[in-house]
Structure formats: structure tokens, C-alpha cells
Structure 1
Amino acid sequence: MKNRLIIGLFYLIGLVLLSFGISMIILAGLGAGPWDALFVALSVNIGLTVGSWTFIVGFLLIIVNGLLLKTKPDFAALITMFLIGSMVDFWLLVAFPELAIASVMIRLAMLITGVLSAAAGISCYLQSNFARNPIDHSMMVFHKLTGKSLSFSKTFLEVTILIVAFFIGGPIGLGTVLVAFGIGPLIQMFYKPVTMFRKSLCHETAS
């Protein structure tokens, strides 16, 4: 029971860090991450909130991930997508509504903070096998099917979505490039120490 609570905390803290990071990247106004640029573009061009598109696209990815692994789609992941989408909308629409920062240095600091927060958040909530974000589950699926590293898998998928976001008018810029090429290595960097910390709390034997 104690271990489940610990893993549950990693899951929730991870989602909070991830949603905060996503929001900081968007609010920095220096270009959103590929997936978030896609969601922002869909929000601007079609309507609905960024969080709503996070949920909708996540639902579609759940189907695709299930087909690729030839398993039953993990519809429990809708819980994760709902939480992430709701948290992103909270940060953007409630916590920091209409936030406009003129200083480029402050915006750059927000961008870097956002990228680090998102990577740490992903590394935290991946400690749980419960209801993984289908975006990050896609990284794990690609990793499993190709044998490539988590870093390569994440970067490859980010660049692919970057191209799609560019063609539909997503906010592309420095932040997009930083996320596309930096988030994978950062996850790789955070994942091992976070896993070791989680195992120490759960009194698991390191493998």
C-alpha cells in the first residue's frame, strides 16, 4: 500500500510539473514544443482550448498505440490526458491569464524553466505504469518496436510533429527547436536518478 501511494505521488507530481512546463513554454512566446504548437494551432484555427485538444489528440493516439502494439487500447490513459489538459488550461486561463512579458531574458528564463519542468515531470510520472500520457507512451512504443534509446525515440517523434505543426500555422520558434532536440536527452538524464530515488523510497533492489 505504501509503495502504491509513493508511485501515485510520483504520477501526480509528474503531471503537475509537466503541465506547468508546457504552460511556461507557451507563455514564453518563443515558440512552443512541437505537440503544444500543434494544439495551439488547432485551438486558434478550429476553436476549443489548448487543453481540450490535448485530450482529443491523446484519445486518437491511444487508438494508434494500441494498434501498433496489437493490444487493447489503454483507455485508462484518458484519465491522464484529462488531468494534463485540465492542468494546462488552469495554468494558461486561471493562474496566468493574459500574461505578457516584454523582457526577452525573462521569456528565455521561462522557456528554459518550462523545458526542464516538462522533462522532469515526464520522468516522474513514467515511474507509474498507470494511464501513461499517450504522447509519451508513443515514445515508449517507438522505443520498444525499434530498440532505439528513449532520447532518440522522443526526438524523432518531436521532429515529426514539428513539421506537421509548422504547416498548420503553429507557434514555431526557438522554443520549438529546444523542445524538439532537448526534451529527449533531458528525459534520459532525469529518468535514471528519478527511478533510483523512487526505488529507494519503495525499498526496491536497484537493477
Structure 2
Amino acid sequence: MVGRRLPRRVVQLFLGLALYGVSIAALVLADLGVMPWDVLHQGLARQLGWSLGTVIIVVGVLVLLAWIPLRERPGLGTVSNVIVVGLVADAVLAVVDPPSSLAVRIALAAGGIACNAVATAAYVGVRLGPGPRDGLMTGLVRRTGRKVGPVRTTIEVLVVVSGWLLGGTVGVVTVVYALAIGPLVQPLLPRLTVDAR
């Protein structure tokens, strides 16, 4: 039986994913460091000459393929995440110029982190499938029997180092994001979780 709240969940899903794309663009425009996975995306974009959004989509598809041996099941949220986030990030980067003022860049970075926390809680809270990168982590945890913390840390260190070697931007915001995102999402998630019934 399809829950009565499905329309609300779908709307919240797409608003959350769009906001996630906006938050990525905000951190890129601030040029003070980006989220761990975006260090890899940015490095690949610079090496391949592709747009950042295109790389986000392609990497999302490749990570989704890695779910097959892990036996993870994608949902509407998973597939939508692969497409929407990259498209929105590219759209914002196409129409907004990077600021030159350091104060504006700092404000943009802070706003980007805050937006990302709301976006994460919004799309996770509808329970329509994890993002491809989150599913990779949970699949590896389940298959290896290791704890979430070490698995997530290993994945993020690998993507940051790989991205940095490819020319991605690692900065103070990369560290601030890594430390702040969990505590920011934690109080938002209960408020944005929608009962599936």
C-alpha cells in the first residue's frame, strides 16, 4: 500500500537534492575548500575538461554500479540523487560568478555548509533510498563487518587524497565540513523525517 505521505516525501526529496546541488556550488564559488567527495569530482573535472556536474553524475553512476556486488538496492532517492545534484550544481555555477571579497567567500562557505546539512536531512528523512556514496559506505559496512566510522573515514580519505592529486581544492572548509556536518544534520534529521505511512 502506498502511503498517503508519498507526495510530500517526493517533493521533499527533490527540494533536498536541489538544495544539495546549490550547496556544492556555493562551496566551489567560495574557493576555500570543498566537501570530500567534491575534491575528487573537482580534480576529475579539471583533468577531463568536463563540467563539475557531469563528473558528479558519472561518478554517481559508477558508484551505483559498485552496489551490484555489495547487493545494495537503490530507490527513487538513489537514482534521483545521481541526476539532480549534478544538474543543479552546474546550473548554479553557470549563472553565478565567484565573489572576490574574502568576507563574502567565508559567508558563502558557511551558508553552503548549512544548506548541505538541511539538504542531507531532507533527502535522508524521506527514506526513498540513500545516495550512491552513502549506499557504498553502508554496503561495505554490511559486507565487511567493520564499523561505520572507520569505513566512512577510509572512503573519504581515499577520495580526498585522490582528488587533491588530480587538482581538486582541499582547504579549511574541507576540514570544517568534515567536522561540522554530522553535528549539524543530527538535530535536523528528526524534524525532516517523514513517516512513510
Alignment of 1:17-96 (within 5 A): 17-68=19-70, 70-71=71-72, 74=74, 77-94=78-95, 96=96
Aligned CA-pair RMSD:
2.5
The number of equivalent residue pairs is 193
Greater mean alpha carbon deviation, residues 116-125 or residues 151-160: 151-160
Runs of at least 5 residues in structure 1 that lack an aligned partner in the other structure: none
SS in 2 for 1:84: helix
What is the distance in 2 between the residues matched to 1:148 and 1:192? 23
Structure 2-normalised TM-score?
0.84
Paired AA for residue 104 in structure 2: I
Greater RCO (CA < 8 Å, at least 6 residues apart): 2
1:2 aligns with 2:8: no
Deviation at 1:183, TM superposition (A): 2.1
Paired AA for residue 178 in structure 1: V
What is the distance in 1 between the residues matched to 2:27 and 2:150? 22
Q: 2:112 aligns with which of 105, 111, 114?
A: 114
Paired AA for residue 64 in structure 1: A
What is the distance in 2 between the residues matched to 1:12 and 1:137? 18
8 Å CA contact 2:36–2:159 kept in 1: the answer is: yes
Runs of at least 5 residues in structure 2 that lack an aligned partner in the other structure: none
CA distance 1:154–1:39, change in 2 (3 Å): same
Paired AA for residue 182 in structure 1: A
What is the distance in 1 between the residues matched to 2:106 and 2:89? 20
Structure 1-normalised TM-score?
0.80
1:127 aligns with 2:129: no
CA distance 1:173–1:42, change in 2 (3 Å): same
